[in-house]
Amino acid sequence: MLFDFSLENFSWVCKSARDSPNAYAESLVEYMRTTFQCLGPMDDGSRAGLHFSCCGYVAERLVKLFTDPVEDADGRTKSSGGIPPVDKIDPFGLKNLATDIRHFEAFADSTGVGQLRECFNEVKSIATAMLDRDLPMLLLPENGNARRRKYPFLSLEKVHCILEKYVGTGIGEKLMARGSGVIRNDFLMLERKEVIQLSKIVRMQLNTQQ
């Protein structure tokens, strides 16, 4: 319920990068931290299981939120267990998502439960890959092995779903600051025509796999 409430009507077209996590991420972490602190004594196995269950749930919902199609085969709006999947996201939204994931990982490390941060491996891989300036090259058919080595949790199906929602930028939107004349190049910012081209490349590979 908190997940849905925190992200209801949340826009992932951000236009700018944040230095701190989004409010929903802070709320979820604070809720989990408080809940775990209020629990009575339990054995290590039960404690670890509860932590993995909660973090795994958050991570899975995030993956579905970004990679599920907005509509099903009948054209009806899909629901990711509550709120519908994201229909638009821009490069800054992905950049902010990566910041949120680091916040979740820091919380996982703070619990003392070994390997808990691994719950976020898939969503981290998706965000990191979509920000990787080498992604266009890695998505070429001949670079499939290199892509799988670098991003073992990344699937072409999910990349394609995100590209379908990706809001490409124009040259003006690539400026670090209004009027600065300096273009950001610290993470991938696809232009609209590049999004279309990459979608075609990925779709072609998916069709050959069927």
How many other C-beta atoms are found inside a 10 Å radius of the C-beta of residue 183?
10
CATH number of 1-70+85-209: 1.10.357
Q: What is the tens place of the pLDDT at every residue in 166-200?
A: 999 876 555 554 444 455 668 999 999 999 999 99
Residue 59 has pLDDT above 50, yes or no: yes
Q: What is the tens place of the pLDDT at every residue in 67-109?
A: 999 876 555 555 555 789 999 999 999 999 999 999 999 999 9
Give the predicted TM-score (pTM) of the model: 0.88
Rounded CA separation 41/2 (Å) = 25
Domain edges within the chain:
1-70+85-209
